[in-house]
Chain A
Amino acid sequence: MSALSTERETGPASRPPFLRSLAGIFLTGNTFVITALAFFSALVIGAVIIVFATPSALQAWHGFFASPGAALGPSWKAIADAYGSLFAGSIGSPTAIAKAFATGSPADVTRALTPISETLVAATPLMMAALGIALAFRAGLFDIGGQGQMILGAAGATLGGFLFPNMPAPLHIAFALLVGAAFGAAWGFIPGILKAKTGAHEVITSMMLNYVALNLLTYLLTSPLYQAPPRVEAISKAVVPGARLPLLLGHSLRVNLGFVIAVLCVIGVAWLLKRSSTGFRFRMLGLNREAARVAGVNIELQYVLAMTLAGMLVGLGGALLVQGVDFRISPLYGGSIGFDGITVAILGRGSPLGVALSSLLFGAFTAGGRTMQVNTSIPLQLVQVLQAVLVLFVAAPGVIRTIYRIKVLHGGGRIFGGWAG
């Protein structure tokens, strides 16, 4: 501690001002640096896991003392292959991009753009889920029910998408989106009203509603209303073409209007939190519940509002997924997106911009992970481990500060205080 402070007083003074401020950033550890170091640490841990999962690399370690180079070689190759195809699958492979510039043929351009398109497609529902959860975070609420809200949103959009097949297209898209958002909002309203009226903790109620939603979905998929004829498989009727979101970049790329809608929602939530009085009340609630109460904020109403809005955003994410990508719902629809939304929201520290960037990162992970699974022997699930480790470190900046010896300037803000709050 004292060594650090003397360095701060004497060391950087001899450097030019620009470097001094740069050193200051790294020594004090602002959020960006912490996130970057957490990302680096996650990659290191991922590398260790890759080596453990690659028999040839593990085998080579037996001869480490005889020839360290030969021992490290296979490990390095396994790691480089995995992370290389992770990059190629999410951003694009340099060769494909160079070829697209050289020839300019539509097929080559499409091939070069496919990774980016897949990243955006994967990021879209994640961004919506994380946005809703982040909004609840800012109001001091932990909405762990993203999975259920997403299922309800998808089920609503599917219903809106096949019930009236003759609606004109633009109207039909909006109608299905609205039904999805309303279903999601209803699923968010329940934990909100329970917390307001009875004090039931939203973590428990929203988590339980996830499982209720999963079972409800199982039921719906075998009900005459939803199940696709000839009614043998547990799969829903398809959203009619008129209610599907238009593609943005031609027929071969899956990126669709959903991404634009998600970005608009990010801007909308940013405006809500920064500029509107409702957002101001949410933030008051999140920063100091008692102070908000004393200042005359109707806390119970804010609980209901924040949870309903959160559910609406997550539900809209489910609607975008159905109307933009899958067009049908099936058991366990949405997978882990609702849960990943929590980690994205934490990574983005609850700010709309942070959420947008974090969901792009996670979308890139998902898209790249698929390519990695195809190209190397490393399974897709590595990505889940990387994400979890990354967020674990981001949630506990103290660990990163200790590992990299960064000075603590201020304690991290705390969001929750147990079940009783």
Chain B
Amino acid sequence: MSAEKSGKRAALGSGSRKDSAAPIQPELRRNLEALRRRSFGIALFALAVIIFYFAFGNAPSAATVFSLSAGPAIALPLIHLPLVATEIFLGIVCALLGVAQILWRTNRRIYLLLGIGLAITGVAFLAWAGKGQSVDVEGLLITSLIEAVPLTLGALSGLLCERAGVINIAIEGQFLVSAFVGALVGSATGNLWAGLVCGALAGGLIGLILAVFAITYAADQIIVGVVLDAFAVGLTSFFLQSVLVPNQAALNSPTVFDPIPIPLLNRIPIVGPLLFNQNIFVYLTILILAAVQIGLFHTRWGLRVRAVGEHPRAADTVGINVKAVRYRNVVLGGIVAGIGGASFTIGSTGQFAYNMTAGLGYIALAAMIFGRWRPLGALGAALLFGFTDALQFTLSVLNVPIPSSFLTMFPYLATILAVAGLVGRVLPPAADGQYYARE
């Protein structure tokens, strides 16, 4: 990487990454930040145009019903939205956000504004898609959250590894193996907790294999990850065919974790059923997310991990054992992905099926990159991807003339746009993917 180019990278990434800001001319940085603000503002205007388009060609009396109730326990009045007025109002709000973005003096809240703009567009789209019908918004939100659980855990797994400088493409493999082990152990022992623990450990084991090959034996991390994914697909489908299918009842029919309602909190309208009446995986995800966020940025452990990921030689010279830190993080990441993988079987469907994660491990990786190697960013990206996934079910009920294939494409296209720098430069840890050995 030439000096000029790395200077540019630092400048582009400086909006939110203080830890890598190299000394560059303040004038250049101001210009780049202004450019970014302007492009974000234009993006918000584009969203506003799309929203205005939704208002076209509708009778003034057209309306959409939004339902926010989850079951009869917490009944809320249905919300009747007059379509044209709603779309115009939302479009104006989005356009105003764009104006604010361009006139704003700092880059501090640009992602938040864009996020709000996207959320508004989502509401406008739902109102348009559900014209004359009833949209189950609460159900949509709950499905999004559940879909986001494994994605978040997978993204956190990738993040734990990559912050220490090891690329983990094996998330998909960790998902599969732990989903398999979770179903097998949960079914054979009849104890779901045993399934969860063994599933997590199975993910950790794949992490350990990755660590041995990548950290000790200097194998290319991306290659090892890809091959481990193939290995996991082969191994799980092999044992599915040869062991689970002949003994389906005994070995592949675990029960699933029941929702654990949290007293009082689960009675709160909208938020209660969404956040406080879920199974253990949702709560675990929130806990792990908080732990990683605080651990990485507010503890000595996190500082060391980030030092190893950014500049292993410097970390080594101040006495940090680079390989030990990397080993620990990669195995820990495997365990976190393992919990996410177990949620595929004992958290939702119970049975293990052939290649059941179907590439979601790669989406989790994309969520990590989209979230700019930050836990909260990863959560946001996972929720966005989960929402688009859940939206398909809602739209198939609503009979919308958009092929669901195009909606399914959305997370992938969004990720391509993200890495292509249209949503701001994504900047990985500096030593990501690089083998380290003492000279």
Interface residues of chain A, those whose CB is within 8 Å of chain B, are 49, 52-54, 142, 144, 194, 197-201, 203-205, 207-212, 215-216, 218-219, 222, 290, 293, 336, 339-340, 342-343, 346, 377-379, 381-385, 387-389, 391-392, 395-396, 398-399, 402, 411-412, 414-421
The 8 Å CB contact of B432, one of A218, A385, A389, A418, is: A418
Task: Note all chain A residues with C-beta closer than 8 A to B230.
Answer: 336, 339-340, 343, 384, 387-388, 391
Complex contact B421–A199 (CB within 8 A): yes
| Chain A nearest CB, measured from B357 CB (Å) | 13
The one of B2, B213, B369, B422 that contacts A396, using a Cβ cutoff of 8 Å: B213
Cβ distance A37 to chain B, nearest Cβ, rounded Å: 14
**Does A418 contact B434, Cβ atoms closer than 8 Å?**
yes
**Which residue from A201, A396, A418 sits with its C-beta under 8 Å from B217?**
A396
Judge whether B28 is part of the interface by a CB distance below 8 angstroms.
Answer: no
A204 to B2, Cβ gap below 8 A?
A: no
Interface pair B233/A391, CB less than 8 Å apart: no
User: How far does the alpha carbon of A198 sit from the alpha carbon of B419 in the complex, in Å?
Assistant: 8
Chain B, interface SS category: helix
Please name all residues of chain B whose beta carbon is closer than 8 Å to the beta carbon of A388 when the two chains form the complex: 227-228, 230-231, 234
B275 within 8 A of A: no
> Do A414 and B220 touch (CB < 8 A)?
yes
* 11 more CB-based (< 8 A) A-B contacts, given A200-B421, A396-B224: A204-B365, A209-B412, A210-B359, A293-B2, A381-B235, A382-B238, A384-B231, A389-B231, A392-B227, A395-B213, A419-B433
Q: Which 7 A-B pairs have the closest CB atoms?
A: A418-B433, A384-B234, A396-B219, A388-B231, A379-B241, A398-B217, A53-B242
Q: Which residues of A contact B2 (CB under 8 A)?
A: 290, 293
Residues of chain A with a CB closer than 8 A to B365's CB: 204
- Alpha-carbon separation in the docked complex, A346 to B224 (Å): 10
Complex CA gap A144/B366 in Å reads: 14
Q: How many A-B pairs fall under 8 Å by CB?
A: 169
The interface centre, meaning the residue of B220, B239, B369 with most chain A CB atoms within 10 A of its CB, is B220
B243 touching A381, Cβ below 8 Å: no
User: Which residue of A204, A383, A399, A416 is within 8 Å of B369 (Cβ)?
Assistant: A204
Which residues on A sit within 8 Å (CB–CB) of B234? 381-385, 387-388
Residues of A within 8 A of B420 (CB): 194, 197-198, 200, 205
- Report which of B239, B366, B433 forms a contact with A416, defined as CB distance below 8 A: B433
The residue from B1, B220, B403 contacting A222, defined by CB atoms under 8 A apart:
B403
Within the complex, the shortest CB–CB distance from B432 to chain A, in Å, comes to 4
Chain A nearest CB: distance from B50 CB in Å? 21
Q: Which of A381, A392, A418 interacts with B431 by CB under 8 Å?
A: A418
The answer on a CB contact under 8 Å between B409 and A379 is no
Verify B405–A215 contact, CB threshold 8 A: yes
Inter-subunit contact B220/A415 (CB<8 Å): yes
* B238 touching A385, Cβ below 8 Å: yes
Contact of A395 among B227, B237, B403, B421 (CB under 8 A): B227
- Report the Cα distance A167→B239, complex, angstroms: 49
Looking at chain B, what size class is its interface with the partner chain? 35 or more
Residues on the B chain within 8 Å of A201, using CB:
419
B413 within 8 A of A: yes
In the bound complex, do residue B227 and residue A216 qualify as a contact, i.e. CB atoms below 8 Å apart? no
Find out whether the CB atom of B412 lies under 8 angstroms from the CB atom of A212.
Answer: yes
Closest chain A CB from B221 CB (angstroms) = 8
B398-439 Cβ-contact flags toward A at 8 Å (1 or 0) = 000001011011001101100111100000101111110000
Residue of chain B at shortest CB distance from A203: B222
Residues of A within 8 A of B286 (CB): none
A414 and B408 CA atoms in complex are apart in Å by: 36
**A residues less than 8 Å from B428 (CB atoms):** 418-420
State which of A343, A384, A391, A398 has its C-beta within 8 Å of the C-beta of B218. Answer: A398
A–B complex contacts, Cβ < 8 Å, 21 sampled: A49-B235, A49-B238, A142-B222, A203-B222, A208-B412, A208-B415, A211-B359, A215-B406, A215-B409, A218-B408, A342-B226, A343-B226, A343-B227, A378-B242, A379-B242, A381-B237, A384-B231, A384-B233, A388-B227, A388-B234, A418-B434
What residues of chain A lie closer than 8 Å to B344, measured between beta carbons? none
What are the interface flags for B228-266 relative to A under an 8 Å C-beta threshold, 1 for contact and 0 otherwise?
A: 101101110111011100000000000000000000000
Residues in B with CB closer than 8 Å to A377 are 242
A215 to B412, CA, bound (A): 10
With both chains docked as a complex, state the minimum distance between the C-beta of A292 and any C-beta of chain B, in angstroms. 12
Flag if A144 contacts B213 (CB, 8 Å).
no
Identify A198's interface contact among B224, B421, B435, CB under 8 A.
Answer: B421
CB-nearest residue of chain B to A223:
B403
Report B168 CB to chain A, min CB distance, Å: 12
B167 at the interface (CB under 8 A from A): yes
